[in-house]
Amino acid sequence: MVVTGLDGGVGALVAKQLLLRGVKKVWLHHPTLEDVIDESHLETSCGILRANDLGDGVASAFARRLRGYGVCETLGVSDHLDVNTVPRNALVCVCDGSGELANAAGLGEQCRNTKRAFAFVKARGLTGTVFVDSGTPDAVTLYQALRPQNTYTTGGAAENTTDSFADTQRTDALHAAFLLSNPETRWLLAKKDKNVHDVHALIGATLTGHSPGPFAALVAEIACEGIGDMLRMGRVAPDDRPDEVDDKKTASQWTHVDALDVLDSGAAASAPVPKSETCWYEPIPCSGNEETSASASGDNESGGRISRPTLRTLIGHLVMSKLAKGKVLLAGVGTPGSGAALEALCALGVGEIVLVDDENVSSGVDTGVDPNDTGIREHPILRLADPGDLACVSVARVCARVAANAFPDVRVETCLVENMGRFFFANENQENRLIAAVDASSGHRAAFRETGSCKLVRATGAAAAMELALLAKGLE
């Protein structure tokens, strides 16, 4: 796998997810040689980078940290990726920071000409875009796919009101919004519809800056699901396929992700996360209190506080303050989905995270297991743990130690299942108020049987952080 473009966090997060899923080797490439790690990279990397990476080259710093998950190297020192230098069996993934959209489309054409698979992943604000091209004749290239969807309309009642038509219309609207956000493709819509600018009313987020780490992680998860599907189904010559070919393969080349839809039932087919039973995700507008500076919130003061200006822009200072003063219980941390949820919750700036130490839901990753066990190799946090801890300390405690080191501003601790009651019925006047209990156990036995008055969020990976941000917005 080759990942080019490391602006924001999505490129490095895609590389990390691929390594965790068993990719043999990842090469990193960043076209701008002068770019170095700054505070924005630390914020959007969702825990991959550390403060002592500041000032280092972007590609080299990410590669150094990602070697904790697998084999990762940098590719060349040129301003432009040369596909001819890429191993013939490697898939090329173009992410934020790789250059203009025309450059990405050009790389897609080069990959097709050399029979390589190709992916395009973009995360801006609270919207994300994923495109995959298997390189087979029945798939289209990025250049060919950069056209408005046929069924897109900006207004009027739809003649067909079925759920499938509504989902298609929503996808088409998000595709139009993506085209509108790029100067190189905006003209494709402008000529066809005078009301094209109304498309922004159809999506949840219109901001175009870097995505905060938790959302970039969600886009990366969805991208890796799409890449995995492509490798499983698309890299087969048409003559070798059965007579019945799934029509959804072509449609699934595009996946548009909006914070408004990540947990809706209509997005279930493209998002590898289950919908919550207790709440719906919706855009989180700024609080209107943006005059409060970072120093006023303590982000730049001593004590290991991590600055999160991108997150503050998107969800507002008041929501961030509620999260920083809040407490969350997280169950099932031994599973990969819950491990990813822990990273995203820490990146969200939750003040205190309590991991439920229940060895019965550790999915085979248990005290005293072999560090080479499959469960550990796939776990996003245990991969970075001291092998000695894995032999003598519970999984929850190991994850707490690693997360606390990566996010010094978040208090991470553990509690036994039998002691959870004291959190559920804690005095709400406490400084650290319990916001929610998060069950991200990836389908394993739920640790939370009774939550009292506490909100219960059931979501895996970075989707848990998305829901928690909404809950914080609603707190009085």
More confident residue, 178 or 274: 178
- Percent pLDDT > 70 in the chain is 69
Q: Which residue has the higher pLDDT, 69 or 32?
A: 69
**What's the pLDDT at 238?**
40
Q: Which of 236, 270, 252, 228 is nearest to 22 (CA)?
A: 228
- Can you give the pLDDT at residue 276? 53
> Residue 429 — pLDDT band, cuts 50, 70, 90?
low
pLDDT digits (tens, 9 = 90+) for 387-400: 888 878 888 999 99
Average of per-residue pLDDT values in the chain: 77
CB 96 within 8 A of CB 68: no
pLDDT of residue 64: 96
Lowest mean pLDDT among 157-171, 311-325, 368-382: 157-171
Q: Which of 218, 214, 206, 209 is nearest to 174 (CA)?
A: 206
What does the pLDDT read at residue 108?
94
Position 452 confidence tier, pLDDT thresholds 50, 70, 90 = low
Contacts of 212 (CB under 8 A, 6+ apart): 43, 44, 308, 310, 311, 314, 315, 347, 348
Do residues 274 and 458 touch, judged by C-beta distance below 8 A? yes
Q: Does residue 298 carry a pLDDT above 90?
A: no
Indicate whether 150 pLDDT > 80: no
Range 13-34 average pLDDT:
92
The whole-angstrom separation of Cα 229 and Cα 246 is: 12
Give the pLDDT score at 297. 38
Quote the pLDDT of residue 152. Answer: 44
Taking only the tens place, the pLDDT of each residue in 77-113 is: 677 888 888 888 899 999 998 889 999 999 999 999 9
* CA-based max dimension of the chain: 67
CB atoms within 10 A of CB 77: 9
User: What was the pLDDT predicted at 13?
Assistant: 97
Most confidently predicted of 175-179, 217-221, 283-287, 374-378: 217-221
Mean pLDDT of 309-337: 89
CA distance 406 to 422: 28
CB 456 within 8 A of CB 439: yes
Distance, in Å, from the CA atom of 28 to the CA atom of 106, rounded to the nearest integer, reads 19
Is residue 246 over pLDDT 60? no
Count each helix (H run) and each strand (E run) in the chain, helices first. 17, 12
Range of weakest confidence among 265-279, 306-320, 426-440: 265-279
* Domains contained in the chain, CATH given: 2-267 (3.40.50.720), 309-474 (3.40.50.720)
Mean pLDDT value across residues 437-462: 73
Q: Strand runs (DSSP E) across 125-192, as ranges?
A: 127-133
- Residue scoring higher pLDDT (192 or 282): 282
Type and span of the H or E element at 292: none
pLDDT at residue 193 greater than cutoff 60 = no
Q: Is the confidence at residue 161, as pLDDT, over 60?
A: no
Amino acid at 196: V
Higher pLDDT, 211 or 177: 211
Q: What is the mean pLDDT of residues 212-236?
A: 84
Mean pLDDT on 230-234: 73
* Structural contact between residues 69 and 19, judged by C-beta atoms closer than 8 angstroms: yes
